[in-house]
Amino acid sequence: MNALISQWTTPFGLPPFAEIKDADFAPAFDAALDQARANIAAIAEATEAPTFANTIAALELAEALLDRVAGVFYNLSGADSNDTREALMRDLAPKMSAFSSEVTNNKALFARIETLWQERDKLNLDPEQLRVLTLYRRMFVRSGALLEGDAADRLTAVKSRLAVLGTQFGQNLLADEREWFMPLAEDDLEGLPDFVVDTARAAGAERGQPGPVVTLNRSLIVPFLQFSPRRALRQKAYEAWVARGANGGAHDNRAIAAEILALRHERANLLGYDSFADFKLEPEMAKTPQAVRDLLMRVWQPARAKAESDARVLEAMLHADGISGPLEPWDWRYYSERRRKAEHDLDESALKPYLSLEAMLAAQFDCANRLFGLEFRPIDGPFYHPDVRGWEVTRDGAHIAVFLGDYFARASKRSGAWCSAMRSQRKLGGDVRPIVVNVCNFAKGDPALLSYDDARTLFHEFGHALHQMLSDVTHGFISGTSVARDFVELPSQLYEHWLEVPQVLEAHARHWQTGEPMPADMLERLLAAGTYDQGFATVEFVASAMVDLEFHVGSPPADPMQKQAEVLEALGMPRAIRMRHATPHFAHVFSGDGYSAGYYSYMWSEVMDADAFAAFEEAGDPFDPETAKRLEKFILSAGGSEEAEELYVKFRGKMPGVEALLKGRGLLDAA
């Protein structure tokens, strides 16, 4: 019996993780693809006239088994990879792309969709059905359904190759992150807080080393760069971190990035667009590359001015230490941390005992309860890894979702943090409730203590999770986070604001040993430093977003690294700051199509999240019930049932300007 395709009798319909073997995945995908093909053929070849029910609704359910198998596999392949799963990912990339092209190239199927589209005004469709029909037709057209002959065949080949390259890019990056580490002698631990030392020792044990090591995991390397007074070690670690994917050999991503950009441009041209950015941005809120560029440059100028001013202060500190020469990228975090301690009397090693993972989980759940009435009850596994924890989510006693949290870094997990759904919400074919997963890469400890940035990440991903859990639509095609890419970050970035609410930290930021609340003066200093170093953070983000945009506007660069350098030079990139994600490890852009020509979307959403939280401030209560109800109704539960701008205007009354973003980042005075 193959557990993946057998009937699941587990609580809440969770995957039976203990019964699933790696050997089950390939035959399960084969069976699921066969079933999906048969279902779609039956829809396309039906002799009955097309109706919404026998065409669109039938398509919604045609791939149910495939969705189930893929929901398990792709979550595991990102969060707990191994050689077998990586090999299968490489095999599946062209196979899944070919299946997708088969569907969208099916002329008989598209003819039925087109008939419904042309007759839509006569079909008595409700608003959600009309929206789903519109999006299905748009998806087919943008996938090449109107192409014929050689053009259609070439587009299929291009998409298949892109799927292979994206998988290879991500696996190369994971390999570099998994293989590099820097051993530390005992005297190399000088100046490091206990939590960094403990994390380095745990990382060494995981890598089979006799002593502590620094790895390329952000939750270890960033605090090492913040606290280590040993400049040579900082430089070695930093240069390894930014060189991921560009070390030569089998794992080098530079040629892959060039081929991806060329193929994306060809794909856009085949579909009648001048550039991939024009193609990609058309269905987003931004619509055009110029709109993206205008936003980024509006923020770039004040951010760069602030960063240059900060750099002068940090360089003076460097020189005061007797080090000649300019401030380097591996110096910034070290001197910035010292400056923060001096100016705000904030020491991260003193903060972290009040920000345990357990305390911050309680805080995120408490906020969700006060805003939306959600309750979280721990449930037992087994789940897909011993580190994973689970909760049943209920409201007024009714089951809402299952929430899984996978919080600790390990060599089998790709870097970063993300939210995914093993199962999405829908009502078609039965009331299907979601299984939502938050994945982070925090340093494991006993207890696990978070930085304030880690806590912000925790809240961010939980905002995505709420978007999935509170989804309330009929059709899975528009469920949860199935929205415009530059809108999808609104719920996540908005939820971060509740971490800054004093009463939340007063209640939950308690010392893990004594239970004492964070001292009032420390809390005050923490919140006062909320915009500290935002020149640096904004510059490294906007630089990445501008490089991404310019990669996809106009002809593709023959040498992406040269193009990256040209874009940064034109921007006037401060020498002591690098892009947040250099091209060879820019997984957002090259591991898949999601954020390609779309990395700007975090900032586009930030314009809205600052304004959205202001709605609570204007109501005089960060937990104002009426504002929370509007937020759930028009944003969190609506999925993609309407255009993003229409939903936001229903919630807030109008679209905001960039001023709220600049104010939130402390850059308004520099604008």
First to last CA, the chain: 64
d(CA 214, CA 440): 18
Is the confidence at residue 671, as pLDDT, over 70? no
Pick the catalytic residue: 461, 489, 550, 632? 461
Task: Kindly state the greatest CA–CA separation across the chain.
Answer: 83
315 included as an active-site residue? no
Tens of pLDDT, residue by residue over 589-599, are: 999 988 999 99
Partnered with residue 234 across adjacent β-strands are none
Amino acid 664: pLDDT: 86
Rounded to an integer, the average pLDDT of 644-659 is 95
Burial of 127 (0-12, 13-18, 19+ CB in 10 A): exposed
Instruction: Provide DSSP, 481-543.
Output: T-S-HHHHHHHHHHHHGGGG-HHHHHHH-B-TTT-PBPPHHHHHHHHHTTTTTHHHHHHHHHH
Q: Is 639 helix (H, G, I), strand (E, B) or coil?
A: coil
Amino acid 348: pLDDT: 85
Tens of pLDDT, residue by residue over 117-143, are: 999 999 999 999 999 999 999 999 999
CB–CB of 226/334 below 8 Å?
Answer: yes
Partnered with residue 395 across adjacent β-strands are 398
Q: Percent of the chain, pLDDT > 70?
A: 100
Amino acid 668: pLDDT: 84
Tens of pLDDT, residue by residue over 45-69, are: 999 999 999 999 999 999 999 999 9
Contacts of 410 (CB under 8 A, 6+ apart): 80, 206, 385, 387
Amino acid 446: pLDDT: 87
d(CA 450, CA 354): 9
Higher pLDDT, 381 or 253: 253
d(CA 209, CA 118): 66
The tokens of 84 are what? 């077998």
Average pLDDT, the chain: 96
Tens of pLDDT, residue by residue over 416-429, are: 999 999 999 999 99
Q: Is 406 helix (H, G, I), strand (E, B) or coil?
A: strand
Task: From 654, 602, 560, select the one nearest 265 (Cα to Cα).
Answer: 560
Rounded to an integer, the average pLDDT of 499-514 is 96
Model confidence at 1, in pLDDT bands (50, 70, 90)? confident
Strands across the sheet containing 418-423: 375-379, 389-395, 398-408, 435-442, 418-423
Domains of the chain: 11-104+106-142 (1.20.1050.40), 181-243 (no CATH), 352-457+494-528 (3.40.390.10)
Tens of pLDDT, residue by residue over 358-411, are: 999 999 999 999 999 999 999 999 999 999 999 999 999 999 999 999 999 998
CB–CB of 127/474 below 8 Å?
Answer: no
Tens of pLDDT, residue by residue over 516-554, are: 999 999 999 999 998 999 999 999 999 999 999 999 999
Amino acid 474: pLDDT: 98
Amino acid 240: pLDDT: 97
Amino acid 445: pLDDT: 86
Q: Percent of the chain, pLDDT > 90?
A: 94
Is the confidence at residue 277, as pLDDT, over 90? yes
Q: Is 145 helix (H, G, I), strand (E, B) or coil?
A: coil
Amino acid 669: pLDDT: 77
Where b means 16+ CB within 10 Å and e means fewer, 494-533 reads bbbbbbbbeebbeebbbebeeeebbeeebbebbeebeebb
Partnered with residue 437 across adjacent β-strands are 404, 420
Tens of pLDDT, residue by residue over 221-241, are: 999 999 999 999 999 999 999
Residue 248 has a CB neighbour count (10 Å cut-off) of 8
Tens of pLDDT, residue by residue over 626-648, are: 999 999 999 999 999 999 999 99
Is the confidence at residue 670, as pLDDT, over 80? no
